[in-house]
């Protein structure tokens, strides 16, 4: 019996079934149909037992050849499927290294923050402490303690933002209209700390921060910054104010070619009072007087509210505008640009 033709067909059909199997599981099922316990090759081998010895040998050899061919086909297909799977996985996990990276923006300090840091550094070098206080303030600290009369215009609703909350005295809280309440807060804490001592160290402090007024145009914003300054000792005069403020301006603008003018003015909490104007000797603003601060010798009533004796403790205070200083330093002409959060503007200061 020579069944070579059917064996070749068997190999062909195995080839076709293996090729049709498109997953490893389907391939193993197809394999079982040929090489499994009840597979067609296995059946053929089992049937050999019934043949006479000579025929058994030649037939057995033929079947083994077919079996090897099928195993070769099987292994080739296994390999092909494994490769296909690997390729699919690589494709799925592909990383397109040609994509431009996502940039993480590098932030920068806000120009007004830069100015405030500069102010702190310069006054720090002159021995001034830096203090911080509440933006929601009581009527007493914002006005009364600063010698502002009940009928002072700053107290009116047109200038001041009031908060819908009252303090212990039944007065509306407000968004501080200036940093001057920090004079009182800091000096009172200082006086309390040194109460009873024979001598009290001088008070030398600046207090930068946000302030609020009902006001909005190119040079006024409802939220703006101020930096308070206070120096109280036993012999601190208007002359010292001039020296300190002149030194500050020269350091801040990095030039000695700068003139200062102390223009008589009025504040309830200083006497005498002066507006401080500066003028540059060169540059686009050459010769123009620019107001940068209010100042004066602290009023005796205010010193009393510090908890100190005005016969013994005297000194000066000033309040300057960091926003204005920033505009002058960088040549910005509209204050609102600082508070609109437009990165095209802000990133220029990085």
Residues that bind ligand PHE (CB under 6 A): 178, 180, 267, 270, 294-296, 317-319
CB of 348 to ligand PHE, least distance (A): 29
Rounded to whole angstroms, how far apart are CA atoms 223 and 264? 27
CB of 202 to ligand PHE, least distance (A): 17
Considering the complex, state which of residue 319 and residue 322 has its C-beta at the smaller distance from ligand PHE: 319
CB of 331 to ligand PHE, least distance (A): 24
Please tell me whether residue 18 adopts helix, strand or coil conformation.
Answer: helix
CB of 302 to ligand PHE, least distance (A): 9
Q: In degrees rounded to 5, what are phi and psi of residue 168? A: -60, -25
Question: Looking at beta carbons, which residue is closest to ligand PHE?
Answer: 319
Considering the complex, state which of residue 81 and residue 302 has its C-beta at the smaller distance from ligand PHE: 302
**Nearest alpha carbon to residue 248 among 114, 124, 109:** 124
CB of 163 to ligand PHE, least distance (A): 19
* Cα 8–Cα 11–Cα 14 angle in degrees, nearest 5: 150
Q: 116 Cβ partners below 8 Å, 6+ apart?
A: 208, 225, 227, 322
Considering the complex, state which of residue 69 and residue 265 has its C-beta at the smaller distance from ligand PHE: 265
Considering the complex, state which of residue 39 and residue 321 has its C-beta at the smaller distance from ligand PHE: 321
Instruction: Count other Cβ atoms within 10 Å, centred on residue 245.
Output: 22
**Nearest alpha carbon to residue 242 among 276, 265, 281, 208:** 276
Considering the complex, state which of residue 71 and residue 291 has its C-beta at the smaller distance from ligand PHE: 291
Q: 135 Cβ partners below 8 Å, 6+ apart?
A: 175, 176, 209, 210, 211, 212
Considering the complex, state which of residue 18 and residue 267 has its C-beta at the smaller distance from ligand PHE: 267
Helices (H), the chain: 4-20, 24-35, 40-47, 53-92, 111-125, 139-142, 181-193, 238-253, 300-305, 322-330, 343-346
Considering the complex, state which of residue 73 and residue 182 has its C-beta at the smaller distance from ligand PHE: 182
Rounded to whole angstroms, how far apart are CA atoms 108 and 80? 56
Rounded to whole angstroms, how far apart are CA atoms 83 and 87? 6
CB of 255 to ligand PHE, least distance (A): 25
CB of 270 to ligand PHE, least distance (A): 5
């Amino acid at each position: 019996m020579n069944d070579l033709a059917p064996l070749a067909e068997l190999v062909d059909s195995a080839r076709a079934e293996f090729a049709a199997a498109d997953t490893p599981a389907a391939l193993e099922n197809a394999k079982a149909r040929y090489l499994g316990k009840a597979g067609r090759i296995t059946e053929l081998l089992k049937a050999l037992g019934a043949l006479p010895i000579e025929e058994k040998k030649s037939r057995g050899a033929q079947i083994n050849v077919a079996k090897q061919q099928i195993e070769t086909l099987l292994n080739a297909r296994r390999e092909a499927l494994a490769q296909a799977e690997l390729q699919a996985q690589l494709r799925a996990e592909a990383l397109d290294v040609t994509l431009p990276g996502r940039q993480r923006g590098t932030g920068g300090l806000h120009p007004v923050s830069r100015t405030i840091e500069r102010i702190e550094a310069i006054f720090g070098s002159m021995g001034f402490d830096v203090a911080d206080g509440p933006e929601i303030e009581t009527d007493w600290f914002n006005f009364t303690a600063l010698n502002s009369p009940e009928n002072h215009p700053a107290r009116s609703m047109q200038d001041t933002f009031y908060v819908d909350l009252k303090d212990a005295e039944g007065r509306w809280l407000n968004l501080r209209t200036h940093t001057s309440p920090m004079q009182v807060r800091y000096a009172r804490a200082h006086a309390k700390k040194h109460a009873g001592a024979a001598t009290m160290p001088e008070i030398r402090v600046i207090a930068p921060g946000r302030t609020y007024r009902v006001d909005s145009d190119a040079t006024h914003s409802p939220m703006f910054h101020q930096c308070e300054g206070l120096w109280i000792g036993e012999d601190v005069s208007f002359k010292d104010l001039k020296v300190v403020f002149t030194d500050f301006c020269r350091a801040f603008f990095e030039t000695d070619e700068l003139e200062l003018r102390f223009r008589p003015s009025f504040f309830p909490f200083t006497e005498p009072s002066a507006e401080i104007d500066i003028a540059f000797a060169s540059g686009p603003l050459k010769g123009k007087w620019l107001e940068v601060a209010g100042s004066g010798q602290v009023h005796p009533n205010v010193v009393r509210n510090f908890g100190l004796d005005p016969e013994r403790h005297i000194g000066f205070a000033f309040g300057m505008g960091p926003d204005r200083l920033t505009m002058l330093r960088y040549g910005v002409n509209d204050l609102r640009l600082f508070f609109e959060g437009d990165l095209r503007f802000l990133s220029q200061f990085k």
